[in-house]
Each structure stands twice: as structure tokens, then as C-alpha cells.
Structure 1
Amino acid sequence: MEKEPIIALDFPTWQETEPFLQPFENESLFVKVGMELYLQNGPSIVENLKKMNHRIFLDLKLHDIPNTVQQAMKGLAGLGVDMINVHAAGGQKMMAAAREGLEQGTSGQRPILLAVTQLTSTSEEQMQTEQLIPVSLEESVLHYAKLTKAAGCDGVVCSVHEAAKISEVCGTEFLKVTPGIRMKEDDANDQKRVADPQLARTLGSSMIVVGRSITKAEQPLVAYQKVKQLWGGM
């Protein structure tokens, strides 16, 4: 199976998203719809992307009491997205409820369910001082990964730099979806734990999420193809 990056569609409206996608009309993409795009446009954004034959990672990072998350997932499953996520900080019971909701709301194969460990914009110092988690960042991520697996989720959203250790404790089949991907010549912006596509492949990421390195490029299609080449090891 050909490895392809997930493009983060970090736009506020469909009117801005559609022109970006036009050069990709001959490509079947895997795209990420985050809170900015989904909350300002609603389910129609998913419908539009599905009509264009794109696969969708709905990145809403749900975090609430188990019953609320279960019912939300039951409804979101009906959109027909391919992948969706919650925050691992919500706990094992909440994550298990999320899976149950997806199963209840899906007639065929349920979407892949991920849990966010620590955001790639979070540094160890921030985690320790603001979240009052006294262990290292790596220990926190590994703890959340094991909790996620125990809850029956398919994988985690994590930094490239934790992917190999997560494979050691959760197995190679457990998905490691890694944002914070930048080309070497690009600015890290608000991300702290970044990597280029080649390093992500070397360190064992299952899937990579790439935003501004493609969406802000002068020639997005060319940038996408370059990322795809590096990620695929060609």
C-alpha cells in the first residue's frame, strides 16, 4: 500500500478550502478536518469532501463525560469519516465509550479511533508546570498510549519522537499518527516537537499529518508530492 501524508485543511471556510483542493482534482487524498473548519461549516464540509472522493480524519479531540462522548460519537459515525479522535486525558472509560458510540452509529466498518496523548505544541516544562504532571513528557505519552490501547482504541496521536517507544509498549500494529511535520527548510511555527517526513518514517510513524508545509506553499501540489516522496522513502 502506498504511503501518503494526511493534509491538514486548516482553513476557516469551504470557500477557501475548495480552491486549495482544485490542483488535486486527479488525486484521492487523505485530509484532516479540524475544529476550525468543522465548527464553522458543520457536516456539509464532510459531505463536500466525500463527494470529491477524499478520505477524512475528523480531528475534533472530544473530551467530556463518557455518556456525552458516546452519544456524540454515535452521531458523528453517521458522517462516514475514516478516522476520528478523543483526548486520552478523558480517561479509559471515556475512550471505551467513544468506541462503543462509533460502533452503535456505524452500519459497516467503524472509523479508526485515536486518542491524543500530549499535543505536539506542548513542551515538557509546560506539561509539568501547567498540567502538574511530575513525570517526563515521554512517560506521560507512554502512559496515555497504554491507557488508550486498554480502552480498545486503534492508536494515538503523538509526536514523531515518541513513536518508536510507543511501538515497544503497545506493538507495531498500534497506530502512531504524528502531526508536527515540517520540511527541513520550514518554520516550526507554534509546534514544539517537530520532524520532517523522512525522520517520521525512520522513527516509526504510522501516518503523518502535514499542514502549512503544503497548504502555505506557493505550489501546494508540488509540495505535497515532495512530502509524499520523502514519506514513502522514494
Structure 2
Amino acid sequence: MNHNPVYLALDLPRLDAAQALAQKVKDHVGGLKLGLEFFLAHGHHGVHEIAKVGLPIFLDLKLHDIPNTVAGAMQAIHVLEPAIVTIHASGGRAMMEDAKAAAGEHTKVVAVTVLTSLDDDDLASVGVKARAEEQALRLAELAHSAGLDGIVCSGHEVGAIKRQWKDGFFVVPGLRPADATLGDQKRAVTPRAARDAGASVLVIGRPISRAEDPAAAARAIEATL
């Protein structure tokens, strides 16, 4: 049986609620993603507590700063032994190289290409003339050449990027089961479509965390894979 690629986005403001949700779904997800909101609220202590559930931890911190600062931040989270950490590809090659060099031996460093909440118009408004897919491909190529493990991209781009980077590790967020609402995601696909296109990890939040029965929702998603 394949390892479950679903990572639950556990971005709840209260630690006890996050722990309770993680316990409910732990048999039907492959890992737990802790984002900026969780990390700023609960810090190292919160990560240690969630790690007790026994699943790999994905620290979605999206680090983006000068190379020295990002390297220092990577070293500061060594003790947490995250399975995956995110940085921003738009921080540039030197930042990505230093982040990877400073990361723990067993931590995959993946670069965010284009946030799934952005579309072509949003990119144009910040001076990026390329379409979202072109920009994601460009940044994926840069991340690959910088020695990173993989990238974060939408399900729309993962197939094309995988063709360029055959052994890359691809994290796809913004996924919505066929019957779910989109929320603030502008470029969403279903978990199965993303997996079929080459996603290594499927990040799913609200369709599980806000379901009446989170374990049943996670189990239903697992069954589609």
C-alpha cells in the first residue's frame, strides 16, 4: 500500500483543538502541516506537542529574507526535526542554497513558487508579467538548480514541472474535493487529479478540519487516491 500523501493543514489558533483534531484523523492522513499562524501562536512547544501524535511534521513557514537570516532560521528549527520546511523561491538562488545547506539532514526544503491564492491578474499587479504557470515553471527551475528538494505549486502546474524535474518532491496545496467550496483558492484541483499529475504531498485543510466528521472526511479523501 502507498504511503498516504495527504498532509492535514492544522492551522488552528488553539493548541488543544489542534491536538484533538490531529488525534481524530491520524489514521487517515500521512502527516501534519503547521503554518505561520500556528508557529507564531505556539512556537517550538506547540510543534513538540503535535509531534507526539506520531506523524511527520511539515513546517510551512515560507521563509523569505536575506540568505544569512534564512540560514539562521533553518538552524533554529533543527531541534524540531521537521520532515518538510518551506521557503520562497522568489528569495533568489543564494537564499535557497543557504537554506538547504543550513537545513537538518532529514528535512526536505521546498520552495513556494506562486501562491495558490494568486492568479495572472494578481501577479501583474505586483509587476510580474508572466502568467502564473510560466512563473511557477521559472521559479521551479531556479529551485532545482539551487539544490532544493522540491517546490510548492498548484495542481495546475505540477504536471509540467514534473516533466522538467523528474525526481523532484512536489507539494500541492489549495486542493478541494469535487464537492467542496473553493474559499480563497483561485487555482484549485481535486486531490486525485493532483496526485495523478505527480504531486508527492497533498495539503488539505478546511475540507477535513471543518467537516462535521473530520475522520470520515479524511477517510473519504484517502479512498479517492
**What interval of TM-score do these two structures reach, taking the shorter chain for normalisation?**
over 0.9
> Distance between the aligned counterparts of 2:165 and 2:27, measured in 1?
37
**Alignment partner of 1:110: what SS?**
coil
Contact 1:180–1:191 under 8 Å retained in 2: yes
> Distance between the aligned counterparts of 1:133 and 1:69, measured in 2?
24
What amino acid is the match of 1:170? W
Relative to 1, partners in 2 of residues 1:68 and 1:25: Cα closer, same or farther, differing over 3 Å?
closer
What amino acid is the match of 1:31? L
Number of the residue aligned with 2:177? 183
- How much has 1:29 moved relative to structure 2? 4.1
Matches within 5 A, 1:124-203: 124-129=120-125, 131-171=126-166, 173-203=167-197
Contact 1:46–1:81 under 8 Å retained in 2: no
> Distance between the aligned counterparts of 2:31 and 2:4, measured in 1?
11
Relative to 1, partners in 2 of residues 1:124 and 1:26: Cα closer, same or farther, differing over 3 Å?
closer
Relative to 1, partners in 2 of residues 1:114 and 1:47: Cα closer, same or farther, differing over 3 Å?
same
Contact 1:63–1:69 under 8 Å retained in 2: yes
Unaligned runs of 5+ in 1: none
Relative to 1, partners in 2 of residues 1:221 and 1:202: Cα closer, same or farther, differing over 3 Å?
same
Relative to 1, partners in 2 of residues 1:201 and 1:145: Cα closer, same or farther, differing over 3 Å?
same
Number of the residue aligned with 2:19? 18
Unaligned runs of 5+ in 2: none
Q: After TM superposition, where is structure 1 displaced by more than 3 Å over at least 4 residues in a row?
A: 24-29
Contact 1:117–1:156 under 8 Å retained in 2: yes
Contact 2:5–2:200 under 8 Å retained in 1: no
**Alignment partner of 1:122: what SS?**
coil
1:139-183 deviations in whole A, cap 9, x for unaligned?
110000000011110000000000111012222x10111001111
Contact 1:84–1:111 under 8 Å retained in 2: yes
> Distance between the aligned counterparts of 1:203 and 1:29, measured in 2?
19
- How much has 1:19 moved relative to structure 2? 2.2
Contact 1:160–1:195 under 8 Å retained in 2: yes
> Distance between the aligned counterparts of 2:108 and 2:183, measured in 1?
29
Aligned-residue sequence identity (percent) comes to 35
- How much has 1:2 moved relative to structure 2? 2.3
> Distance between the aligned counterparts of 1:26 and 1:162, measured in 2?
29
1:178-202 deviations in whole A, cap 9, x for unaligned?
0011111111000001011121122
**Alignment partner of 2:96: what SS?**
helix
Relative to 1, partners in 2 of residues 1:139 and 1:28: Cα closer, same or farther, differing over 3 Å?
closer
- How much has 1:15 moved relative to structure 2? 2.0
Relative to 1, partners in 2 of residues 1:209 and 1:26: Cα closer, same or farther, differing over 3 Å?
closer
1:22-59 deviations in whole A, cap 9, x for unaligned?
32465674000001111001111111122221210000
Contact 1:77–1:110 under 8 Å retained in 2: no
Q: CA RMSD in A?
A: 1.4
Aligned residues: 224
- How much has 1:64 moved relative to structure 2? 0.2
Q: Please, which of 105, 108, 111 is the counterpart of residue 115 of structure 1?
A: 111
TM-score in terms of structure 1 length: 0.91
Q: Please, which of 198, 203, 210 is the counterpart of residue 209 of structure 1?
A: 203
**Alignment partner of 1:61: what SS?**
strand
**Alignment partner of 1:43: what SS?**
helix
Number of the residue aligned with 1:39? 40
TM-score in terms of structure 2 length: 0.95
2:190 counterpart of 1:228: no
> Distance between the aligned counterparts of 1:99 and 1:26, measured in 2?
31
